[in-house]
Amino acid sequence: MVKRKGRRNKKYLGARSHGRGNVKNGRGAGDRGGRGNAGLCKHRGSLIAKIDKDYFGKGSRGFVNPAKAKKKPVVHLYDINQKAMKGKLEKKGDKFIFQFNGKVLATGTVTVPLSITASEWSKRTEEKVKAAGGEMTKSEAK
């Protein structure tokens, strides 16, 4: 006849607690800190910190604070026009030359012809500059 496997808890025969301390500790899931994912932010926090760092959504995805996000530099037509009027811009021919590595916005009016070189600008900016006899050119990406 084939010999059957012996009992696995042969070591604990005659013992009440089977190595779990007090007899009460073997009841329910209280001895192991809860079932499943219970206590991941409490008593099993170090387990999550070691094994699954993105469990609470602090990994590569999630909320990005807009206040800390990098913003493009911005200049307004009003500021450019003021610099041209005060003579702080270089003049070639009849146009004042302004170079800027950022976005030009259309706040203000243009009273002198400007030659603006920028990485980007709004539609209204281009309309205002051309109406004053100026031109807009795209700067090369670095």
- Structure token digits, residue 93: 């021919």
Listed residue (83, 86, 141) closest to 117, CA to CA: 141
pLDDT, residue 76, reads: 96
pLDDT, residue 59, reads: 60
Low-confidence ranges of the chain (pLDDT < 50): none
Domain range list for the chain? 74-138
pTM: 0.52
pLDDT, residue 53, reads: 78
- Structure token digits, residue 87: 């003579």
In words, the CATH class of domain 74-138 is: alpha beta
Where does residue 23 fall: left (phi above 0), alpha (psi -120 to 50 degrees), or beta otherwise?
A: alpha
3-state SS assignment for residue 136: strand
